[in-house]
Amino acid sequence: MALVTHGDQKYKNSEKLAEANDWPGLSIEHRKFEAGRQATPVPICTELILLLSGGGMVCRAGNGEVQKSLARPGMSYLVPVGTQESHLELSDRMECLHLYLPPALLDHSALADFDIDPARVEIAYAHGLADQVLFHICSPLRDLLHRPRQPTDALFVEGIQVALAAHLLGNYTIDRWRAPDKAPTLDPRRLQRVLDYIEATLGGEIRLEDLAGQACLSPYHFSRLFREATGLSPHRYVTDRRVQAARRELARNRLSLVEIALEFGFGSQANFTRVFRKAATLTPGQYRELCGGGPEMETDPGETASRRICA
């Protein structure tokens, strides 16, 4: 039996781009939001939201707690089953992947096998999670929504569900997760200008000096404050965004590898393959095959131009 979810009640003013609810332990939605308030029904299952693109301030209140965070691509939010939310508002447009999980992430017998006390398993109402492991576990599910269904998809989803449950239980139960002690010191409006600039310039040259200029800071102070605000260096953040954009294009199977390399600022196919394999543990060609596209040679057909990204 498919998992019953609450997304259509909660996100009435969003556009649902795709959904999949064929599995009893996981339902997935891809949604696009405009700025504004959302409804706040009591969730009937645990929800995990991953921000794919866009960003801005997310203000929400639940279980007597008020949370404000500057959302950016790669960030995640958790809403446990039964959360009494009273407010949810987005300041800007966002595109998100929503994962709906059963109230019990694993059944009692599975928890007992791993010596986990079911009475202590309660997921936290957590926000602003810059958790790259969590994002990389879940983000392949977005590609699954936008390609033809394959016989092995149920096995693929089951593996992700188990990995996700283990990660949540290991890091985001109420006795393990704590909100950050302090907010980022980089002004949210300046940071948003920088993030918008990165998204608009992924295919071109992105220099540290240009990013610092968007924030009206020196490169030295910008680098320090950007890492404090995002958990990543400017170079790493730009690389991650380029890899995520390349993943989406590989799943669409429209452009060649060298075209994707140039489209998203990798400079050459050889550099694209090196960076992508380091981030995703697969070559771009292997990832495309996994998403249902045809194989393509991983060699660089003479394209040697390189483009600099911020150090």
Domain over 7-171 is classified CATH 3.30.750.24:
no
Q: What is the mean pLDDT of residues 220-244?
A: 89
The pLDDT assigned to 108 comes to 52
Could you give the percent of the chain with pLDDT greater than 90? 51
Classify residue 128 as left (phi > 0), alpha (psi -120 to 50) or beta. left
Q: Which fold has domain 188-290?
A: Arc Repressor Mutant, subunit A (1.10.10)
What's residue 309's pLDDT?
Answer: 34
Closest CA to 146 of 217, 95, 89, 220: 95
Of 23-27, 50-54, 201-205, 304-308, the range with the lowest mean pLDDT is 304-308
* Confidence label for 104 from pLDDT (cuts 50, 70 and 90): confident
Q: Which residues contact 161 (CB under 8 A, 6 or more apart)?
A: 23, 25, 26, 101
Is pLDDT of 230 > 50?
yes
Domain ranges of the chain: 7-171, 188-290
pLDDT at 115: 64
pLDDT of residue 302: 35
Reported as a single tens digit per residue, the pLDDT across 148-185 is 888 899 899 989 988 998 899 889 988 888 876 655 57
The dihedral sign for the CA sequence 141, 28, 180, 53? positive
Tell me if the pTM is above 0.85.
no
Residues 57-67: tens digit of each pLDDT = 899 999 888 99
What are residue 71's phi and psi, to 5 degrees? -80, 140
123 near 173, Cβ under 8 Å? yes
